[in-house]
Structure 1
Amino acid sequence: MTPQPPENRDKDAGRWSDLSRPPLNATALRRALIRPDSLWSSLDVVPATGSTNTDLAERAAAGDLREGAVLVAEEQSAGRGRLDRRWSAPPRSGLFLSVYLTPTVPPARWGWLPLLTGVATATAIARFAGVDTALKWPNDLLVTVDGDERKTGGILAERAGDGVVVGIGLNVSLTADELPVATAGSLALAGAHHTDRDPLLRAVLRSLEDWYGAWQTTQGDPALCRLQEAYAAGCATLGRNVRADLPGDRSIEGEAVALDADGRLVLATPDGTRRAVDAGDIVHLRPAS
């Protein structure tokens, strides 16, 4: 191995020596989360990777994963959102993780998984950090910073092997100077009571385990497990006039009035009809002009 020049060693040490952003304690996290009766079967924390979703998906394709595998990165260099939109943040400034799930519910209901993850994450944030978190359909987490709604997190679910890899990216301690875009936010900027990532990660995974268990028990029925009700209650999109941009330069405008049984957003259009749009068909969802 070629010795690293002293100036590079100093640069790397600086990136990882911020005492206000301590590393995650993988041993303590495993001890708290991995039990015989738990959903979580393994938990790995890596210093850096391109994308935790990509890493788990590759392992799933190779048949090298059990349900409940969790991969967390202190830093992602190629984090992705929907439609391969990039997600970047300084090292140890947030939670960047993916989990592998193999639902036993009918595949037609698997589209609820990113919505379920949003509800679980928002619930955990409210309980642990004391921050009200709204859900922007289909996969964003919003907080209020200086009176404005800002995106602080995103969710990406992808089919992999016999299951689904669900990724969560959450800005925790980013300062205003570190935000990648003006519309981004963080829990710290939203006035979080706590920004310690270890207990926050435990809270997110325990909440996800609870909601996933209830969803599985009801065979994925979003009404019976109260997921549809919970998502609608926390969804900032409902009640607003929006424009859904679709492939091929098409768009639909209308008031977002409901979520249907498949997790699609129902728009009441100006001509008096109701149209349901699927998350997989949406390029952008914006406020209507």
Structure 2
Amino acid sequence: MEKKIAFIGTGVMGASIVKHLLKAGHSVTVYNRTKSKTEELVSLGAKWASTPAEASVDKDIIFTMVGYPKDVEEVYCGKEGILQEAAPGSIVVDMTTSEPTLAKKIYKRAKENGIHSIDAPVSGGDIGAKNGTLSIMVGGDHDIVQSIQSILETFGTNIVYQGEAGAGQHTKMCNQIVIASGMIGVCEAIAYGLKAGLTMEEVLKSISSGAAGSWSLSNLAPRILQGDLEPGFYIKHIIKDIGIAIDEAERMNLTLPGLQLAKELYVTLQEQGYGEKGTQALIKYYVE
């Protein structure tokens, strides 16, 4: 059944998700702070809105995928935010990697307006978004999540309900901890192999399908060898996510030294001007 959908934030991943929704026959209205990033989507049939509030008028589902927690709060709760215009009974779905505490706050605010709120951060990067194979970690009311399952399946293949509001974001923190720390291993293995005079393409054939295998090793290590540091996920955003995870861990009296190290390395790369590059640009810390 066709749904009236708004999508706020059409960046690297958001644009691909909108294309899947359009292809599935849904009516999609888009908003992005940089209007030029929506031009291709409009040419494919999406409608343009000038504010998140305008985009949210008379919609069944409103998706958001923006940069930082402060952006999420502004998009939902600001003067021109979603909750100003979203109708009672509509569903808001935040796919930004954000703070679990903010997800709970938005859930409460939305509920006061008769709106259903779901936190559903994703993993899979630009490749997963293009292929419609994202992993989606979902928090919120179970019956509401079930009601949009078919919509989520438009662009995701591993959709797992994690629990009440905020649980999706906590799960994404687990994901980001593995990614941030795991990239250190990927880059150190490449640096070591190159120093040893190995042909790294052949090395990857051996180790990618063994016990060392991971999504990052299979998908980002080849990019590193090709010199492709363009973002599937920005360094500036992994630093943000690491910060959220460390803050949440501190609230739980948990120390994560591996994640602290990853933060130090990524901050160093950002200071060297790599903040707009993909997480695989961490190789620059080891190899120039």
TM class, shorter-length:
under 0.3
TM norm structure 1: 0.22
TM norm structure 2: 0.22
Between Structure 1 and Structure 2, the one with more helix by share is: 2
Between Structure 1 and Structure 2, the one with more strand by share is: 1
